[in-house]
Amino acid sequence: MLLAIDIGNTNTVFAVYSGEKLLAHWRCQTVSTRSVDEYAAFLQGVFSLDKLDWKKLDDVIISSVVPEADFHIKKFCEKYLKKKPILVGLDQVPIKVDLDRPEEVGADRLVNALAIKEFYKVPAIVIDFGTATTFDVIDAKGRYAGGAIAPGINLSVEALHRAAAKLPKVNVKKPKSVIGKNTVSAIQSGIFFGYLGLIEGIVANISKEMGAKPFVIATGGLASLFDPHTKTIQAVDDELTLKGLLRIYQHHKKRKK
């Protein structure tokens, strides 16, 4: 069995694979100071709930955009799982990177790009609704070609609430109309339709710049909120990053043989 760990700025996702089959997955809040023993307590609990035995794990692969958390998660793997994890970096991802400074790209964005190349079609754009809303471009040759980064939706809601004393913090959802009749619905309109315009506008401009009509796939917590309300998004895959980690692991094993 493989334990795949995706450490994002807001959440950390753990998934267990047996071959190609996803057996279980769990998430918790990313806390960079979480100790080795705290990771152990959490995972021991969720493994037990799903009737899985972590002693049967063969390997661990980690994608992380939070360097401060890397030390603790690696020590957890070594102490409790008796495994030296594969920490995904530029060298582990079998995809060409067409950037000015390839080392700057986040591991999660490369993992998503590989998942597109392996499971979908190119050229493509991945919209990832995370702490940041990212647009990643995979060109017709299957290369990671760059993209765009915008503030994440929940981050924007929180910033608006903190910066304006009279504005409440709202749930992100589609309001009944664009014209809000109260403060809450007005904020929800600005957030929802503002980001809908952002999605459609950036994808349209990327497509124009590429001179192609890319396949557009969305992932992340709020992908399903926007998908029904735009023709821009062609598919939603909440497990895209996990699939990418699985493929990177499989490529890694082949290289070791």
Per residue in 137-155, pLDDT (tens digit) is 999 999 999 999 999 998 8
The residue with tokens 């459609």 is: 200
Pairing of strands 2-7, 11-18: antiparallel
**pTM, whole model, 2 decimals?**
0.90
Give the whole-number percent of the chain exceeding pLDDT 90. Answer: 79
All structural domains of the chain, each given as residue ranges with its CATH number in brackets, are 2-87 (3.30.420.40), 115-244 (3.30.420.40)
Per residue in 24-72, pLDDT (tens digit) is 999 999 999 999 999 999 999 999 989 998 889 999 999 999 999 999 9
What positions carry a catalytic annotation? 108
256: pLDDT strictly greater than 80: no
76: pLDDT strictly greater than 70: yes
CA 200/CA 56 separation, integer angstroms: 45
CA 99/CA 209 separation, integer angstroms: 16
Per the CB < 8 A criterion, the answer to whether 214 and 206 are in contact is yes
> CB under 8 Å, gap of 24 or more: what pairs does 169-176 form?
172/222, 172/225, 173/225, 174/225, 174/229
Q: What is the pLDDT of residue 252?
A: 83
In the predicted model, what is the mean pLDDT of the chain? 92
Concatenate the DSSP letters of all residues of 71-84 into one string: HHHHHHIIIII---
Per residue in 186-245, pLDDT (tens digit) is 999 999 999 999 999 999 999 999 999 999 999 988 999 999 999 999 999 999 999 999
C-alpha triplet 27, 234, 96: angle, nearest 5° = 75
75: pLDDT strictly greater than 70: yes
165: pLDDT strictly greater than 80: no
125: pLDDT strictly greater than 70: yes
Residue 226 is encoded by which pair of tokens?
């926007």
Concatenate the DSSP letters of all residues of 83-106 into one string: ---EE--GGGS-S-B-SSSGGGS-
The residue with tokens 């760059």 is: 146
Query: Which residue type sits at 142?
Result: G
At 257, the pLDDT band (50, 70, 90 cuts) reads low
Spatial strand order of the sheet with 2-7 comes to 21-29, 11-18, 2-7, 59-64, 86-87
